[in-house]
Amino acid sequence: MIEDTIAAISTPLGEGGIGIVRVSGPFAIEAVKKIFLPHTEKDLATVRSYTLHYGKIIDPIDETLVDEVLVSVMRAPKSYTGEDVVEVNCHGGVVAVEKVLELILKEGVRLAEPGEFTKRAFLNGRIDLSQAEAVIDIIRAKTEAGLKIAGRQLSGEVREKINTVRQKIINILAHIEVSIDYPEYEFDEISPETASKNLDEIILDIEKLLSSYERGRIFKEGITAVIAGKPNVGKSSLLNALLRKKRAIVTDIPGTTRDVIEDYLNLKGIPVKIVDTAGIRETEDLVEKLGVEKTREYLNQADVTLFVVDVSLGLDENDKKILGLINKEKSLLVLNKIDLVSKGLNIEEYLQKTGIKRFVPFSAKKLTGLETLEDQLYELLIPEQEGISENALISNLRHKNYLEKALHSLYAAKKLVLSGESVDIVAIDLNEALKDLGAITGDTLGEEIINEIFAQFCVGK
Ligand code: GDP
Ligand code: ZN
């Protein structure tokens, strides 16, 4: 049971319309009551939960008015923290809000640490750790898609999924432990075949969750696409086509665009930062002036590369030099300037010579292939996987790491089952998996790590 009461300013510091001081703990209502003069005759200690009260904050020392406020009361356990919560909505600026906090702290209330309100919600069992983490994600969400993923996590979807998988492991363990504890009796002992089958199911569950991570991360954080190719193949034109506006300078003289040009586009909900590597010196002496290092730098940051070639000219040494710098698995071959090719294009040859599997015949000038290009780019980022759920459920790296650990233990358990190993050995791996899954919801995580997670929060949350 948490005994002390905490308070903090929950709104950003600075001049604003209102500022909120949040107080939580067994003494929250009493503390605010001592400095609050309600407009009508009423007693904060007895007002109903979820009510709002107009009045004044008075400094008890000299009885001066600090601010006119609205005080909301939310009683335990139905509050953000699961404790009694009082929020003082101040109308004044920074000074008034700070003064109100100061007065509350004088009433035996402690200043809250960063994330401590959310931590209390977790410790009081109102939310699990994955939901608490979703609070940070919501605060930091960059895109609407990211916000949606965090919202689902906050509503407890990750917790539910994890708990379902944990329950399945517990079911197997229950059988196993029965046979460990009472070896002399015949229980409906689980056969190796059944155990293996059940393990397969659990493994698939986790694999599905893991496969949703990449998707979750992409929608949450967005990706960087880099346009690469030798001078004059149409990189800037491609960027313009994608952005559907004139932005990069397009010229006939190779190497005229000098600055790195980047912009953002929304690719079917994925925030894409698109970078034109025009800034890499586009001069004749490629070996020297292309700035291999600089190119490498850009391409290292790339989640995907759009490798542009000019099909009216075909491939040459300069194309190959750039090809050597890109990750072909994560590249899309843009066969640009198809409008200049009258006879059929030998796509096979391009694929063979570049070693890139995905391609799109394209014309930046005529805007042909633009839609296919976007589709291909999307599929490169989010591969269609059979039997894999559409949902981007896991988007947190910590969750992913623990899922991977659990998966390893389950693979090991399955191997032991198949090799006819004794059940108590298998139980060790299953318990390990159980522990790792519990770390996601915070059930089996040490206090230190939990503190670390909440330390990422801002004060007042
Ligand atoms: P970059 O150096 O790779 O950025 O190439 P630019 O985008 O500056 O284009 C170089 C030249 O190729 C310009 O004259 C463009 O108009 C021309 N160009 C680009 N894409 C196409 C295309 O699809 N078809 C034709 N015919 N010309 C193109
Ligand atoms: Zn350019």
Give 311-316's long-range contacts (Cβ < 8 A, gap of 24+). 311/335, 311/336, 311/337, 311/338, 311/340, 311/341, 311/345, 311/350, 311/361, 312/337, 312/340, 312/341, 315/350, 315/353, 315/354, 316/230
236 is in an annotated binding site: yes
Q: Are residues 210 and 231 in the same domain?
A: no
Answer yes or no: pTM beyond 0.80.
no
CA of 250 to the centre of ligand 2 (A): 6
| pLDDT of 393 | 82
Strand order in the sheet with 223-228: 261-267, 270-276, 223-228, 304-310, 331-336, 358-361
Q: Which domain holds residue 93?
A: 6-112
Q: Ligand 1 within 6 A of 361 CB?
A: no
Atom of ligand 1 nearest to the CA of 237: 7
- Asked if residue 391 belongs to a domain, the reply is no
| pLDDT of 391 | 65
- Asked if residue 105 belongs to a domain, the reply is yes
ipTM above 0.95, yes or no: yes
Q: Are residues 88 and 205 in the same domain?
A: no
Q: Are residues 156 and 180 in the same domain?
A: yes
Q: Are residues 185 and 247 in the same domain?
A: no
Question: DSSP string covering 390-412, please?
Answer: S------HHHHHHHHHHHHHHHH
Pocket-testing residue among 250, 275, 339, 373, ligand 1, by greatest number of atoms within 8 A of Cβ? 250
Atom of ligand 1 nearest to the CA of 366: 23
> How do beta strands 51-58 and 223-228 pair?
unpaired
What ligand has the least distance to the C-alpha of 336?
1
Q: CA torsion, points 377, 379, 382, 388, in degrees to nearest 10? A: 180
CATH code assigned at 39: 3.30.1360.120
CA of 255 to the centre of ligand 2 (A): 7
Q: Are residues 374 and 228 in the same domain?
A: yes
Chain mean position to CA 25? 31
Q: Are residues 262 and 294 in the same domain?
A: yes
257 is in an annotated binding site: yes
Q: Are residues 245 and 324 in the same domain?
A: yes
CA of 381 to the centre of ligand 2 (A): 24
413 is in an annotated binding site: no
- On whether the CB atoms of residues 149 and 395 are closer than 8 A, the answer is yes
CA of 253 to the centre of ligand 1 (A): 10
62 is in an annotated binding site: no
Atom of ligand 1 nearest to the CA of 308: 3
- Asked if residue 154 belongs to a domain, the reply is yes
- On whether the CB atoms of residues 104 and 28 are closer than 8 A, the answer is no
- Asked if residue 397 belongs to a domain, the reply is no
Atom of ligand 1 nearest to the CA of 254: 2
Q: Are residues 263 and 360 in the same domain?
A: yes
Q: Are residues 12 and 95 in the same domain?
A: yes
Q: What is the CA radius of gyration of the chain?
A: 30
- Asked if residue 369 belongs to a domain, the reply is yes
372 is in an annotated binding site: no
| pLDDT of 442 | 93
Last residue of a domain, one of 94, 112, 130: 112
CATH code assigned at 171: 1.20.120.430
Burial class (CB in 10 A: 0-12, 13-18, 19+), 269: middle
Q: Ligand 1 within 6 A of 154 CB?
A: no
- Asked if residue 459 belongs to a domain, the reply is no
Closest C-alpha to ligand 1, atom 17? 234
Q: Are residues 242 and 356 in the same domain?
A: yes
pLDDT in tens, the chain (461 residues): 678 999 999 987 766 678 999 999 999 999 999 999 999 888 999 999 999 999 999 999 999 999 999 999 999 999 999 999 999 999 877 888 999 999 999 999 999 999 999 999 999 999 999 999 999 888 887 777 788 888 999 999 999 999 999 999 998 888 777 666 666 665 566 778 888 999 999 999 999 999 888 888 888 888 999 999 988 999 989 998 998 765 555 655 555 544 457 888 888 878 899 988 764 544 555 444 545 566 677 888 899 999 999 999 999 998 998 898 899 999 999 999 999 998 888 999 999 999 999 999 999 999 999 999 999 999 998 876 544 445 668 989 999 999 999 999 999 999 999 888 877 888 999 999 999 999 999 998 888 888 888 888 887 88
Atom of ligand 1 nearest to the CA of 340: 26
Give the H or E element holding residue 51.
strand 51-58
- Asked if residue 386 belongs to a domain, the reply is no
- Asked if residue 22 belongs to a domain, the reply is yes
Reference 168, options 443, 433, 425, 440; nearest CA is: 433
Residues with CB under 5 A from ligand 2 (ion): 235-236, 257, 278
CA of 231 to the centre of ligand 1 (A): 9
Chain mean position to CA 217? 5
Q: Ligand 1 within 6 A of 168 CB?
A: no
Q: Ligand 1 within 6 A of 236 CB?
A: yes
CA of 106 to the centre of ligand 1 (A): 70
CA of 221 to the centre of ligand 2 (A): 27
CATH code assigned at 330: 3.40.50.300
Q: Are residues 245 and 340 in the same domain?
A: yes
DSSP state of 190: P
Q: CA torsion, points 254, 255, 256, 259, in degrees to nearest 10? A: 150
278 is in an annotated binding site: yes
Count: domains in the chain: 3
Pocket-testing residue among 227, 237, 277, ligand 1, by greatest number of atoms within 8 A of Cβ? 237
Q: Are residues 93 and 211 in the same domain?
A: no
**For residue 419, what are its two tokens?**
């090799």
CA of 161 to the centre of ligand 1 (A): 50
